[in-house]
Amino acid sequence: MYEFAYHKPASVADAVKLLAADGEAKAVAGGQTLIPTLKQRLARPTALVDLSAVRDLVGITVGGGKVTIGAMTKHVDVASSADVKKALPALAALADGIGDPQVRNRGTIGGSIANNDPAADYPSACLALGATIKTNTREIAADEFFKGMFETALKPGELIVSVSFPVAEKAAYMKFAQPASRYALVGVFVAKGPAGARVAVTGAGPSVFRWKEAEAALGKSWGVAAVENLKASASGLNSDIHAGADYRAHLIGVMTKRAVAAAG
């Protein structure tokens, strides 16, 4: 790691101020992706602004047809929340499958979404459920939020405050883990909710995306039969030593089918 200054503000306002004052400063939430990145010297922030003392950013509220999760809420707390399990069990299950127990004890939803790692799990839930990402300045629809590999609609210094997920009638997440890293090689979140039938795919492409053909098919008639013979296109998908684009495309189909079956 390169050396950096460290700040631990107690409010969103202070955090925003610190980030605004230094263009090369970076916010750190759980740090489960950022710290490994820094250790490899792949990033060189001048300062880290640690959000862990900002109490307002932590918490889960369920009501008004929505599950709202504070940005600094840890995966373990989403996974074990009785409210989330009741309102959106697929979301609790997704959180319960992120990384390993130690990662879940530190990692946060805000960090995951802000980082937009192409193999992260949460972005798929945001897209499929039509979540709204609330920042210190505005609200951003998930469809507008994820822009590309490690790229989001967040402006420099803009912080995620919370994420609101509309409760869905049916939803499930199925992940095929990259066998070494255990990140999503292909993760598919399916939902039948207020925004209709949605299928969001993570891990397979440069950034999370919606599989429109599957959505159309499920929109017509929700069920495994609707997607059973549907083939995802391999065009533009990632290819690496674990999986070529063809295999990833194939797995999108399998995981979608299994997710729909699990969603009921």
Rounded Cα gap, residues 178 and 209, in angstroms: 18
Please state the closest distance from residue 186 (CB atom) to another protein, in A. Answer: 10
Please state the closest distance from residue 142 (CB atom) to another protein, in A. Answer: 27
Please state the closest distance from residue 256 (CB atom) to another protein, in A. Answer: 12
Please state the closest distance from residue 132 (CB atom) to another protein, in A. Answer: 29
Rounded Cα gap, residues 249 and 236, in angstroms: 10
Residue with tokens 């951003």: 140
> Is the Cβ of residue 181 or residue 233 nearer to another protein in the bound state?
181
Please state the closest distance from residue 242 (CB atom) to another protein, in A. Answer: 7
> Is the Cβ of residue 64 or residue 101 nearer to another protein in the bound state?
101
> Is the Cβ of residue 11 or residue 181 nearer to another protein in the bound state?
181
Chain contacts with another protein (rule: CB under 8 A): 1-6, 8, 31-32, 35-36, 38-41, 48, 50, 52, 76, 99-103, 105-106, 176, 179-182, 240-244, 246-247, 250-251, 254
> Is the Cβ of residue 99 or residue 187 nearer to another protein in the bound state?
99
> Is the Cβ of residue 36 or residue 264 nearer to another protein in the bound state?
36
Are 215 and 189 within 8 A, CB to CB? no
